[in-house]
Each structure stands twice: as C-alpha cells, then as structure tokens.
Amino acid sequence: MLLAIDAGNTNVVFALLDGREIRARWRIATDPRRTADEYAVWLNQLLILEGYAIADVDAVIIATVVPRALHNLQVLADKYFKTSALIAGQAPVEWGIELDVAEPSSVGADRVVNAIAAHHLYEGDLIVIDFGTATTFDVVDYTGAYKGGIIAPGINLSLDALVAAAAKLPKIAIAPPESKSVIGRTTEAQMHIGVFWGYVAMMEGLVARMRAEIGRPARVVSTGGLAVLFNDNSDIFDAIAPDLTIQGLALLHERSLKTE
C-alpha cells in the first residue's frame, strides 16, 4: 500500500491508499522539529486503529511546501517503512506537465500536484481553488499545462490578523452569518459579514476576472477544508474534490512505477 504525505504550512496530511482508493487519512500540525520517531509512534497507533500495520506500507510519496519538514519524513520512510520516499517533483517523480510560468521552480508542490489531479479528473480549462493557510487560485489549461494563478491570505489567517491587530475585537468562528444582511448591527455580526461575505466576494470577483482573461469556459474545482462551507453560499464552484492533493500524489506514484 502507498502512504501519501502532503506537508503543508499548517498541517501534514497522511493518507493510506490501495491503488487510488483512500483507505484512511490523518492529519497532524506541521512542526519541522517533529522527529521520525515521533511520527512513527503516532502513525503506528492510527494504523492499528484502522486495522493496518506499518508492514502494510511498501511505498511512500511526499509533497511538501515546508523544506525543513522533509528530512524527518524521509527518515520516517527509511527507518520504519523500509523504503526510500519518492519526492514529488524530483527524479524519478517528475511533474510530467508544463509549468508555463516565469519561475517554475518556485511553484509550490501542492499546487502542481493539484493541477495534475484536476486535469486527470476534469476536462477543459480549469481554475483550482485550494483553501489552506493561503487560498490559492491556479489555472490549468485544456492541455494540462499549469499557467499560473493567485495567492491570497487564507480566511483563518485574515481573521487572526484582524483580531491580533484590533484589541477590542473578539475571536469569532469561521461560519456564515446568521442573516443574509450585509449591514451588521453588532460588532460580532459586522466581523462575520466582513470576513465571510468579504471572502466570498473576493473569490467571485477573482474567478470572474480569471475566466475573462482565459477567454474560454473554465470549470472551477475547489479543494481544502472550507470548500464545502463556501459552496453552500456561492455558485462559483463546479466541483468539490476534497482529496485532490492526495489523488495527485497517487497519480504521480503510478507514473513513477511505469518509468522504472
């Protein structure tokens, strides 16, 4: 079985796959200081709870945007899973798609993996929105080429910055306002409106501008934990793919086997 690891700025997601089928997934807060031994103890218990064992894993693939976290994850694969981890974007796991941007080496691994998975799953031109620490908007054309995109502050990051900078503002949860009105009558209501509907307006505006620039119909695919929340309050999403990054890693693993 394959252990796919997506190391992001906020969380590291581990997924156990049998072929392309996800059998289990877990997440843990990203901490570059976390050792391979700590990962192994945590993962071993979770595998047992799902009815699996460390010995069931015979391949590991990693995509990371946190370079300092990579070494310990590689040690985890070597020491406990007895296999050398494949690293997305590094030989023999080349991207296999064109990165048609000014600085291809600076594109985050998660964004390229999302582009690969989205092109595999959906036809035509695509806009992929990923809700993470940052919210990214990525354009993938009908040939599968990555054409660039947008990086915006994630909604939690925006909210944390607002609360930290304004002493009298309370902490609030990320949730749709109780009323559809955009004129709040309390401080908390005004914050909900600003954060939630402001974010919806930002997404809808950027998608409209991106579609106009692409000049062809473009399907919007969303992924990340908040995709469902916004889908209930906006009609810009054509598809929700919560496991897009993991699916992309599974595809890259398959391709690496074919090139061996």
| Beta-bridge partner residues of 44 | none
Tokens 């119909």 sit on residue? 217
| Beta-bridge partner residues of 59 | 2
Distance CA 197, CA 200 (A): 5
Residue 184 makes CB contacts below 8 A (sequence gap 6+) with: 177, 190, 191, 192, 193
Structure tokens given for 106: 């600076």
* 6, 110, 125, 138: the active-site residue: 110
Distance CA 119, CA 126 (A): 8
Do residues 47 and 54 touch, judged by C-beta distance below 8 A? Answer: yes
With left for phi above 0 and alpha for psi between -120 and 50, is residue 36 left, alpha or beta? alpha
What is the Cα 71 distance to its own chain's centre? Answer: 21
Residue 78 makes CB contacts below 8 A (sequence gap 6+) with: 84, 85
Q: How many CB atoms lie within 10 A of CB 29?
A: 8
Cα distance from N-terminal residue to C-terminal residue, the chain: 18
| Beta-bridge partner residues of 218 | 125
What stretch of H or E contains 88?
none
Task: Note if 58 is an active site residue.
Answer: no
Distance CA 44, CA 53 (A): 7
Active site residues: 110
